Chains A and B, each alone.
Chain A
Amino acid sequence: MRNIWIICRKELQSYFVSPVAYLLLTMFALIFGYFYWNSVGYFNYVGLESQMRGQAFPMSVNEYVIRPLLSNISVIGLFFIPMITMRLFAEEKRQGTIELLATSPIRDLEIIIGKWLAALMLYAVLLAFTAVNFAFLFRYSNPDWKPLAIGYLGLLLQAGGLLAVGTFISTLTRNQIIAGAATFGVCLMLWVLEWVAGYETATWAKVLAYMSVITHFESFGKGVLDTKDAVYYLSVIFLGLFLTSRSLESLRWRS
């Protein structure tokens, strides 16, 4: 436990000492800010229109603003996750510092979990920035906070899975760009897998769609905590970290 924390702190430090974290945070805040602004603007427009027609219908901030924004965050995250994970192991391999870690009295699993946890924490900081935007919704209207909290939980789980996959890919190369590009490719594939469900109902299509990270976010976005979906994300996290540990071990046998 102590070792995990040592590694995790070191990783967080290198994110925040270099411009990486600040660049990611700024870009994320700008992009999400734009989404948020549009979303709120549209909500106001629709609200005004329904009033002018004289047939006002009930509009929920949760349904019209928060839910689509949560989906947006999950998509923006897709682009940021490779940038968070690409350096995790690739950089250690390039610098040769992997030899320091591997010859210290610390288990591979502790290194892996420490690094993954640091990546997840950085992502959580990104999410915290979106909370600033949402806070205004609570100031000027009264949405239900529970769906938002569950949405955040879903985002963290989803990111946890993709970050684990990214961590694994980062062990495969010493080149950060390759790690980043490959991770982005895999994340994108995991995202669009669900498209087949739109026109095909065969079993293989269902299986493909089920494997998509997006399918499983729907319930969280609605504010529903579905065990099935949580288990899916936890499995992805487990699989990613398991592959990472295998890959680290094989590194020793091969290199």
Chain B
Amino acid sequence: MITVKGLTKKYARTVAVDHISFEVEKGQIVGFLGPNGAGKTTTMRILTCFLPPSDGGASVAGFDVLEQPMEVKKRIGYLPEAPPVYPEMEVHEYLTFVGKLKGMSGKTLAARVGEVSERCAVADVSRKLIGKLSKGYRQRVGLAQAIIHNPDVLILDEPTAGLDPKQINETRDLIRSLAGDHTIILSTHILPEVEQTCERVIIINKGKLVATDTVQNLQARARGVESIVLEVEGRESALDPNTVQHRLETVSGVSRVVLKDKVQQRSIFEVESLKDRVIRGDLARAVVESGWNLNELRPAAMSLEEIFLQLTGAESTEPEAAPPAEEVVAQGESR
């Protein structure tokens, strides 16, 4: 749906985006991640035909952003960082205006305005001046504006910035509900947002692509070893954590066992595997066969935050070097 190839954007002195390439398939939600000033907004502005690229190119739904901007614009809904609303308009007037701009008219448009107002939860303020609305409402009006013409591709620049936690959740739900029909790229520097909303992540830093993969793969790859949290409980009597620890250490493939916590009968361990070994099954069997209860067994997910810092932080200390985790799809080596 979206293809970006060798995309570069140079400003007078700085290179904002440096040879970025990626693809987004139809119906996917992709998180576009990077610290402030990484080039997220610039990339989005190029995709929406607001800015022309200096080099390389991008196409949306098969149309090139430079050659056929009108076709691209028809198929894109865009929510810039600050919702592009007119304070002197009422919500329904504004949505009607945007709908007309996108080439809609008449009854279809009127019906659609009602539909997106409902969907984005702004129907109750549709007769209010946008200037009088709170930030959260304004943001949602911005979102309603982006989807009014039912575009194939949605590009959302920090859609949850400045909202309160409840609104953030509602907005994320809304965005998730839009996936499937729409291909969505959303930029953010809030990591949990990506973990919760997106299927794939594109991480950029200082204009270069650092990683692009699914959230799960990134987590696995960044660490290379499996890390598992186990909660074990004695069935009848209280059990000695040391016994359990010794038992776990004998499981093949285990490199390290750490007692994390002990609450009454239960002990919580974090077990790390040797590189590229799968140990979950063996661990479970070991616990159960020893006659203990296995209350919980889950992968200790490395938060995206850690991955992110690892990927972007190390990069900045070693300029020009390849990204630290070799397994991660690394690009942007060529200038």
| A202 sits at the interface (CB 8 A) | no
| A30 sits at the interface (CB 8 A) | no
Report B139-178 CB contacts with A as 1/0, cut-off 8 Å.
0000001000000000000000000000000000000000
- CB neighbours of A253 from chain B (8 A): 51-52
Min distance, Cβ A109 to any Cβ of chain B, angstroms = 13
Q: Once the chains are docked, how many angstroms separate the CA of A69 from the CA of B145? A: 48
- CB pair B100–A105 under 8 Å, yes or no, is no
Given that A14-B86, A96-B84 are known contacts, is A103 also in contact with B51, CB under 8 Å in the complex? Answer: no
List which A181-218 residues lie within 8 A (CB) of chain B.
Answer: none
| B103 sits at the interface (CB 8 A) | yes
Of B45, B80, B82, B97, which contacts A6 at CB under 8 A? B97
The total of Cβ contacts below 8 Å across the A-B interface reads 68
Given that A97-B84, A97-B85, A99-B80 are known contacts, is A104 also in contact with B97, CB under 8 Å in the complex? Answer: no
Tally chain B residues at the interface, Cβ within 8 Å.
Answer: 30
List which A210-255 residues lie within 8 A (CB) of chain B.
Answer: 252-255
For the complex, would chain B's binding face be called helix, strand, loop or mixed by DSSP majority? loop
| B205 sits at the interface (CB 8 A) | no
- CB pair A96–B80 under 8 Å, yes or no, is yes
- CB pair A6–B73 under 8 Å, yes or no, is no
Min distance, Cβ B201 to any Cβ of chain A, angstroms = 24
| B88 sits at the interface (CB 8 A) | yes
Given that A97-B84, A97-B86 are known contacts, is A102 also in contact with B50, CB under 8 Å in the complex? Answer: yes
| B76 sits at the interface (CB 8 A) | yes
Min distance, Cβ A33 to any Cβ of chain B, angstroms = 29
Q: Once the chains are docked, how many angstroms separate the CA of A10 from the CA of B83? A: 18
Given that A6-B100, A96-B82, A105-B102 are known contacts, is A18 also in contact with B88, CB under 8 Å in the complex? Answer: yes
- CB pair A99–B78 under 8 Å, yes or no, is yes
Min distance, Cβ B114 to any Cβ of chain A, angstroms = 20
- CB pair B103–A105 under 8 Å, yes or no, is yes
Which residue of chain B has its CB nearest to the CB of A111? Answer: B101
